[in-house]
């Protein structure tokens, strides 16, 4: 029987989400029917025209009252625990999740893969592999919504948001914007294409939709930008008086001037470029230039970040100013 109450379920999360949804719905229907049947039955039975036996009416029943308090309470707590667990799962991103970046703007979704492939309003992903989206908006608040995956997340200006999924069915699924974002909000959508692994690799090999056989990877694009903007005049192999070294920066703990510690993640690096004085590194002053969005776009920030991620340890000798970038890994291919 095909009676679609909800869209097709096409991600690992969707199956779990549906189980919760149907359980809550079934419980609600069960109790609603139970209550209404009882109301109707009693209303008819004790209608004033009926000669029902009204002697010995019960006054209070402690056991019954405890039961109808404790059982629903237990059920509510169980549903709370179950849904909390699903919510927490959304924050447990698998370590090997493929990284994809999404920029929302009025009125389209720009998608960038680490290997340099770009798509607009389309997202190609391999079947059965975890994918993490890191998203930001260039203008107003949007929300990235894939109904078949049962996932929706806000995409806001000024900060990254993120969610992940594992597609469980090949096919074409909707991408919608779920936040009213202006005149053409309703047209801000597209499709996720879930391809079996081999087809996905072929898609990557032919350079995505635009047939660019060797797209410049995000890290390579970031490196070119880093050189063009001369970030290296201050950031070298070691901390120096002009700036800190960016080697080994990503994921490390940074000690700030105000004494606090933060982890250098995507957001930290974005701030460091757009709003550097918000968190000055201890020992440094307000000397890093503030870059405007007209100089470095959100997309370029992501590319610079990908480049900085490739900067592992500083080279042993200080001859090499900027290290060669390893050939861009094909997402999905290394597994
Ligand atoms: C005029 C020198 C100068 C230039 C040019 C410069 N920076 Fe900086 N940068 C600094 C200084 C000084 C700091 C440390 C103080 C601070 O946190 O702002 C810093 C901090 C940073 C940090 C945080 C590093 C840490 O150790 O936690 C990042 C990331 C960064 N810069 C990236 C860049 C990028 C990318 C560029 C090029 C677009 C750039 N910088 C250009 C001087 C510079
Ligand atoms: Cu939108």
Residues 264 and 253: their CA atoms lie apart, in Å, by 6
Indicate the burial class of 56 (C-beta count within 10 angstroms; 0-12, 13-18, 19 or more): exposed
Residues of the chain with CATH 2.60.40.420: 1-42+94-214
Residue nearest to atom 1 of ligand 1 (CA): 288
Got the DSSP string for 118-142? EEESEEEEETT--EEEEEEESSS-E
3-state secondary structure of 136: strand
Q: Is the pLDDT of residue 305 over 80?
A: yes
Residues 233 and 259: their CA atoms lie apart, in Å, by 27
Q: Is the pLDDT of residue 96 over 60?
A: yes
The radius of gyration computed from the CA coordinates of the chain, to the nearest angstrom, equals 28
Phi, psi of 194 (to 5 degrees): -95, 115
pLDDT (tens digit, 9 = 90+) per residue, 21-76? 999 999 999 999 999 999 999 999 888 888 888 888 888 899 999 999 999 999 99
The tokens for 28 are 């609600």
CA distances from 2 to 7, 8, 29, 150, 240 (A): 11, 11, 21, 19, 67
pLDDT (tens digit, 9 = 90+) per residue, 145-173? 999 999 999 999 999 999 999 999 999 99
- The order of strands in the sheet holding 122-126 is 122-126, 189-195, 171-177, 142-146, 151-155
With a 6 A CB cut-off, is 251 part of the ligand 1 pocket?
Answer: no
CATH of domain 1-42+94-214: 2.60.40.420
Kindly report the average pLDDT of the chain as a whole number.
88
Residues 322 and 236: their CA atoms lie apart, in Å, by 8
CATH of domain 218-310: 1.10.760.10
Whole-number pLDDT of residue 326: 52
The whole-number average pLDDT for the span 268-286 is 90
Indicate the burial class of 194 (C-beta count within 10 angstroms; 0-12, 13-18, 19 or more): buried
Q: Is the pLDDT of residue 184 over 60?
A: yes
With a 6 A CB cut-off, is 273 part of the ligand 1 pocket?
Answer: yes
Residues of the chain with CATH 1.10.760.10: 218-310
User: Residue 333 — pLDDT band, cuts 50, 70, 90?
Assistant: very low
Helix (H) or strand (E) holding 80: helix 62-89
For the entire predicted model, the pTM comes to 0.82
Mutate to test the pocket of ligand 1, among 239, 244, 256, 266 (most ligand atoms within 8 A of CB): 244
With a 6 A CB cut-off, is 270 part of the ligand 1 pocket?
Answer: no
With a 6 A CB cut-off, is 302 part of the ligand 1 pocket?
Answer: no
């Amino acid at each position: 029987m095909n009676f679609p109450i909800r869209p097709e379920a096409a991600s690992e999360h969707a199956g779990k989400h549906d189980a919760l949804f149907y359980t809550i719905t079934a419980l609600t229907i069960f109790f609603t029917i139970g209550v209404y049947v009882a109301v109707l039955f009693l209303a008819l039975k004790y209608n004033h025209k009926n000669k029902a036996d009204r002697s010995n009416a019960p006054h209070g029943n402690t056991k019954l009252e405890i039961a109808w308090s404790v059982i629903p309470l237990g059920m509510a707590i169980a549903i709370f625990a179950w849904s909390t667990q699903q919510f927490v799962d959304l924050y447990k991103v698998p370590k090997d999740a493929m990284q994809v970046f999404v920029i929302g703007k009025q009125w389209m979704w720009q998608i960038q893969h680490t290997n340099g492939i770009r798509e607009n309003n389309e997202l190609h992903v391999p079947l059965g592999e975890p994918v993490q989206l890191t998203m930001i908006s260039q203008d107003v608040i949007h929300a990235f919504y894939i109904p078949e995956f049962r996932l929706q997340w806000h995409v806001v200006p000024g900060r990254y948001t993120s969610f992940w999924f594992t597609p469980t069915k090949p096919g074409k699924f909707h991408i919608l914007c779920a936040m009213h974002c202006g005149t053409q909000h309703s047209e801000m959508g597209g499709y996720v294409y879930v391809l079996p692994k081999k087809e996905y690799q072929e898609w990557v090999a032919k350079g995505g939709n635009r047939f660019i056989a060797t797209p410049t990877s995000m890290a390579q694009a970031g490196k070119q930008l880093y050189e063009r903007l001369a970030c290296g005049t201050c950031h070298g192999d070691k901390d120096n008086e002009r700036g800190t070294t960016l080697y080994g920066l990503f994921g490390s703990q940074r000690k700030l001037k105000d004494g606090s510690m933060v982890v250098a993640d995507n957001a930290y690096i974005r701030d460091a470029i757009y709003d550097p004085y918000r968190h000055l590194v201890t020992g440094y002053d307000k000397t890093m230039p503030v870059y405007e969005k007209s100089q470095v776009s959100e997309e370029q920030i992501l590319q610079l970040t990908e480049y900085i991620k490739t900067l592992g340890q500083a080279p042993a000798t200080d001859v090499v100013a900027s290290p060669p970038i390893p050939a861009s890994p094909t997402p999905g291919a290394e597994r």
